[in-house]
Amino acid sequence: MDQIKYKRIMLKISGEALAGEAHRGLDFDVIDSVCDAIRQCTELGVQVGLMVGAGNFWRGVKDGADKMQRSHADAMGMLGTVMNAIAVADALGRHGVDARVLCSVEMNKFCEYFTRDLADRYLNEGKVVVFAGGTGNPYFSTDTGVVLRGVEIEADAILMAKNVDAIYSADPKQDPNAIRYSRLTYDEVLAKRLKATDTTAMALAMDNNVTMVCFGLAEENSIIRVVRGEEIGTTVQNKF
pLDDT of residue 163: 84
Q: Is the pLDDT of residue 17 over 90?
A: no
Task: Tell me the pTM.
Answer: 0.93
Q: Where are the alpha helices (DSSP H) in the chain?
A: 15-19, 28-43, 70-94, 116-124, 142-152, 186-192, 199-207, 222-227
Percent share of the chain, pLDDT over 70: 97
Query: Mean pLDDT throughout 184-203?
Result: 92
Q: Predicted confidence band at 59 (pLDDT cuts at 50, 70, 90)?
A: confident
Query: Mean pLDDT throughout 25-46?
Result: 94
Q: Is the pLDDT of residue 2 over 60?
A: no
Q: Predicted confidence band at 100 (pLDDT cuts at 50, 70, 90)?
A: very high
Q: Tell which wins on pLDDT, 135 or 16.
A: 135
Q: Is the pLDDT of residue 28 over 60?
A: yes
98 torsion bin: left (phi>0), alpha (psi -120 to 50), beta (else): beta
Give me the domains of the chain, ranges plus CATH numbers.
8-237 (3.40.1160.10)
Q: Which residues pair with 180 in a beta bridge?
A: 168
pLDDT of residue 61: 64
Answer for the pair 102, 149: CB distance below 8 angstroms, yes or no.
no
Q: Tell which wins on pLDDT, 59 or 232.
A: 232
Q: Is the pLDDT of residue 60 over 70?
A: no
The whole-angstrom separation of Cα 154 and Cα 207 is 14
Torsion of CA 181, 182, 185, 187, to 10 degrees: 10
Q: Predicted confidence band at 20 (pLDDT cuts at 50, 70, 90)?
A: confident
Query: Mean pLDDT throughout 191-206?
Result: 92
Query: Mean pLDDT throughout 144-149?
Result: 97
pLDDT of residue 58: 83
Query: Mean pLDDT throughout 42-52?
Result: 96
DSSP-assigned states of every residue in 147-190:
HHHHHHTT-SEEEEEESSSSEESS-TTT-TTPPEESEEEHHHHH
